[in-house]
């Protein structure tokens, strides 16, 4: 008879979103899950997926080109939240996403807007039309839209204003996606305004100039940098934020291995999202689940939660 070793417990609770393991996907880098079904069984594998940011009405997003590759393991994008609006999103993906829930994978729907009112409208629609959503992530940190987006999360006051307006609209958990600045201060304000969890970081604003033409390599002058190159910065911000708040954190930024995810957890993250790596290595998130589990085992822990924030400063 074969006896299988009982693995460590990998289940985590991201502010009320109960995940079978800590691995989630970063919004905008995983389609809405279905695009990855040819690569692996998403619903049977991941703790959660976070869907692309969706607004109350459809947005076109920014002109082409929206993407540049940078030297040193990074890319830069200016997609600008192209999305079909909440109704279009639910029509296209609702059945698939309910299927993920049925398989035990949590579904986090991302809410986008240009103003408090637009966030409210989008969340109201989601609340009504998306029974499959395990919780919501509020994107107050998109660097790629002309107004709203990052500006909404730029100061503790503005971020708290959005959060306070949204809190009464749903009983489901609300995660707030934060920009890479002032994370301790803004995190505290969001916690006070009723956020159940925080996710960080969004892309880091950058520029890439074609020196021959003196023009931007993208259609916009500035765009968001992501990928392995930003990992160390993201870990530092997760660590700073974790010390400032008591709500759970989802660590995001340049994660492409179990070791990268483990760093996030040691720095204080309860869950970890794989982002850009999904695009060039489509089976990455599945591998990260396996490697992270192996690491927990190697650390001699019975429960991954025992390692959250266990960084030995």
Partner 1 sequence: MSTTSQYDFEVMTNEQVAQDVWCMRCHTDLAALLSPGQFVNIQVPGNAAHVLRIPLSFSRTDAKARTLELVFAVVGEGTRRLSAMQAGQTSTMVGPCGKGWQLPTRKGRALLVAGGVGLPPIVACARMLTQAGVGFDAIVGAQTSDKHVDYLLDELRALAPCEGCDCARKVLVTTDDGSRGIRGFTTAAMRNMLAEHAYGTVYTCGPQPMMAGVAKLAASAGSDCQASLERMMGCGFGACSCCNVALASGGYALCCTDGPVFDAKEVAW
Ligand X SMILES: Cc1cc2nc3c(=O)[nH]c(=O)nc-3n(C[C@H](O)[C@H](O)[C@H](O)COP(=O)(O)O)c2cc1C
Handedness of CA 43, 88, 137, 199 (dihedral sign): positive
Question: What does 40-94 look like in DSSP terms, one character per residue?
Answer: S-HHHH-SEEEPPPB-SS-B--PPSP-EEEETTTEEEE-----B-HHHHHHHHHH
Piece of 27-35, 116-124, 146-154, 261-269 that binds ligand X (CB under 6 A): 27-35
Degrees to nearest 5, angle at CA 194 with 192 and 195 = 105
- Per-residue string for binding with partner 1, 204-233, x by CB under 8 A? -----------------------xx-----
Which string of b and e fits 36-48 if b means at least 16 CB within 10 Å?
beeebebbebbbb
CB of 87 to partner 1, least distance (A): 16
Please tell me the number of Cα atoms within 13 Å of 152 on its side-chain side: 28
Piece of 75-83, 91-99, 126-134, 215-223 that binds ligand X (CB under 6 A): 75-83
Instruction: Provide the CA 100 distance to its chain's centre, in angstroms.
Output: 17
276 forms part of the interface with partner 1 (CB under 8 A): yes
Parallel, antiparallel, or unpaired: how do β-strands 249-252 and 197-200 relate? parallel
Residue count of the chain: 313
30 forms part of the interface with partner 1 (CB under 8 A): yes
Piece of 2-10, 61-69, 177-185, 234-242 that binds partner 1 (CB under 8 A): 61-69
What is Dmax (Cα atoms) for the chain?
69
- Catalytic: which of 105, 142, 241, 284? 142
Which one among 24, 55, 106, 139 touches ligand X, defined by CB under 6 A? Answer: 139
Cis peptide before 255 (omega within 30 of 0): no
Query: Which residues within the stretch 108-127 sit at the binding site for ligand X (CB under 6 A)?
Result: 110
Which one among 2, 64, 211, 313 touches partner 1, defined by CB under 8 A? Answer: 64
Catalytic residue flag (residue 142): yes
Degrees to nearest 5, angle at CA 52 with 49 and 53 = 125
Which one among 106, 203, 216, 293 touches ligand X, defined by CB under 6 A? Answer: 203
CB of 2 to ligand X, least distance (A): 37
CA dihedral 184, 186, 189, 190 (to 10 degrees): -110
| Residue 255 touches which member of ligand X, partner 1, none, C-beta under 5-8 Å by kind | ligand X
Residues lying near ligand X in the complex (CB under 6 A): 26-29, 52-53, 77, 79, 81, 110, 139, 142, 177, 202-203, 226-227, 230, 252-255, 275-276
Catalytic residues: 142
Residues lying near partner 1 in the complex (CB under 8 A): 28-31, 34-39, 52, 60-61, 63-69, 71-75, 77, 79, 82, 227-228, 276-283
């Amino acid at each position: 008879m074969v006896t299988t070793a009982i693995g460590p417990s990998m289940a985590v609770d991201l502010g009320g979103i109960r995940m079978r393991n800590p691995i989630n996907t970063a919004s905008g880098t995983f389609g809405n899950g279905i695009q990855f079904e040819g690569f692996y069984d998403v619903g049977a594998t991941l703790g959660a997926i976070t869907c692309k940011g969706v607004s109350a009405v459809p947005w076109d997003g920014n002109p082409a080109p929206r993407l540049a590759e940078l030297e040193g393991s990074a890319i830069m994008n200016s997609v600008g939240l192209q999305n079909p609006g909440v109704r279009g999103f639910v029509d296209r993906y609702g059945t698939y996403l309910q299927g993920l829930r049925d398989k035990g994978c949590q579904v986090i729907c991302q809410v986008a807007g240009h103003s408090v009112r637009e966030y409210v409208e989008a969340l109201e629609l989601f609340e009504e039309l998306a029974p499959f959503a395990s919780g919501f992530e509020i994107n107050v940190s998109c660097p790629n839209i002309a107004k709203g987006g990052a500006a909404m999360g730029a100061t503790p006051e503005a971020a708290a204003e959005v959060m306070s307006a949204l809190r009464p609209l749903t009983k489901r958990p609300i995660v707030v996606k934060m920009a890479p600045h002032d994370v301790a201060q803004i995190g505290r304000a969001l916690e006070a305004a009723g956020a159940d969890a925080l996710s960080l970081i969004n892309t880091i604003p950058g520029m890439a100039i074609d020196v021959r033409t003196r023009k931007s390599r993208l259609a916009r002058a500035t765009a968001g940098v992501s990928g392995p190159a930003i990992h160390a910065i993201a870990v530092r911000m997760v660590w700073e934020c974790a010390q400032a708040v008591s709500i759970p954190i989802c660590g995001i930024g340049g994660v492409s291995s179990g070791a990268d995810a483990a760093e996030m957890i040691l720095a204080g993250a309860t869950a970890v999202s794989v982002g850009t790596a999904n695009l060039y290595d489509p089976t990455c998130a599945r591998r990260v689940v396996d490697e992270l589990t192996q690491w927990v085992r190697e650390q001699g822990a019975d429960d991954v939660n025992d390692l959250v924030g266990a960084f030995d400063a």
